[in-house]
């Protein structure tokens, strides 16, 4: 027989698992990372015995903090100076690597050409010029949230175009 506490947890899980995972997917851009973070948030919710009335806010706040922690760890891992790695052979790119890079650049250029002009402009402002969402919003005359939506849709369209090639 399921205890009242477990039944309550199951209800909370049933109600908030999908919305939390979607929220985290938007943050991480990776389905597996989002699922892992959501699972960790639910484990902590269960361990802390959070009341059902505050569970939704607690889960989303905890999920966000777990995402930030993960992002910081990944960022730190990417900034390891090469000099600190012993005995790492330093070789140039292979001819195959150069050819693949050139091919990928061509595919990206072609996919960018198929985007709507505004989508292309927003992606290029973000990637090439390194502008923030706020700076892009000021430049094109819309809200920061509208820019986030434009970027998300443009990236999705780029993925579709690249996968089709």
- 131, 85 in Cβ contact below 8 A? no
| Token duo for residue 50 | 């959070």
Tell me how many domains the chain contains: 2
Please report the pLDDT score of residue 2 as a whole number.
60
- Residue 84 located in a structural domain: no
Q: Are residues 121 and 73 in the same domain?
A: no
Q: Are residues 18 and 74 in the same domain?
A: yes
Long-range contacts of 53-57 (CB under 8 A, 24+ apart): 55/12, 55/16, 56/15, 56/16
Instruction: Give the domain-ending residue among 56, 78, 100.
Output: 78
- Residue 87 located in a structural domain: no
| Token duo for residue 20 | 């939390």
Tell me how far the alpha carbon of residue 131 is from its chain's centroid.
18
Summarised one tens digit per residue, pLDDT across range 105-115 is: 888 888 888 88
Instruction: Give the domain-ending residue among 61, 78, 95.
Output: 78
Q: Are residues 74 and 8 in the same domain?
A: yes
Find the CATH number of the domain harbouring 154.
1.10.10.10
11-15, 88-92, 130-134, 147-151: lowest mean pLDDT where?
88-92
- Tell me: pLDDT of 120 over 60: yes
Q: Are residues 70 and 133 in the same domain?
A: no
Q: Are residues 10 and 66 in the same domain?
A: yes
Please report the pLDDT score of residue 122 as a whole number.
87
- Alpha-carbon span 134 to 113, nearest angstrom: 25
Single pTM value for the model = 0.47
Q: Are residues 69 and 124 in the same domain?
A: no
Instruction: Give the domain-ending residue among 78, 96, 118.
Output: 78
Q: What is the mean pLDDT of the chain?
A: 82
Q: Are residues 8 and 73 in the same domain?
A: yes
- Residue 83 located in a structural domain: no
Summarised one tens digit per residue, pLDDT across range 62-118 is: 999 999 888 888 766 555 554 544 554 455 566 776 777 778 788 888 888 888 888
Mean pLDDT for 41-48 is 91
- Residue 53 located in a structural domain: yes
Range of the domain at 154: 110-164
CB atoms within 10 A of CB 92: 7
Find the CATH number of the domain harbouring 66.
1.10.1740
* % of the chain residues with pLDDT over 70: 85
Q: Are residues 68 and 134 in the same domain?
A: no
Mean pLDDT for 10-19 is 91
Q: Are residues 128 and 69 in the same domain?
A: no
- Tell me: pLDDT of 18 over 90: yes
Please report the pLDDT score of residue 85 as a whole number.
47
Q: Are residues 64 and 123 in the same domain?
A: no
- Residue 56 located in a structural domain: yes
């Amino acid at each position: 027989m399921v205890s009242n506490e477990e039944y309550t947890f199951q209800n909370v899980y049933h109600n908030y698992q999908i919305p939390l995972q979607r929220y985290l997917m938007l943050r991480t851009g990776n389905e597996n990372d989002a699922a892992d973070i959501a699972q960790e948030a639910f484990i902590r919710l269960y361990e802390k015995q959070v009341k059902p009335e505050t569970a939704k806010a607690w889960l989303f706040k905890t999920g966000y903090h777990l995402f930030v922690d993960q992002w910081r760890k990944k960022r730190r891992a990417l900034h390891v100076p090469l000099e600190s790695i012993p005995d790492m052979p330093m070789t140039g790119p292979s001819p195959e690597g150069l050819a693949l890079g050139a091919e990928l650049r061509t595919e990206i250029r072609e996919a960018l050409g198929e985007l709507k002009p505004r989508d292309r402009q927003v992606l290029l402002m973000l990637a090439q010029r390194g502008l923030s969402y706020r700076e892009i919003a000021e430049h094109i005359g819309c809200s920061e949230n509208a820019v986030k939506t434009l970027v998300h849709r443009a990236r999705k369209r780029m993925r579709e175009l690249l996968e089709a090639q």
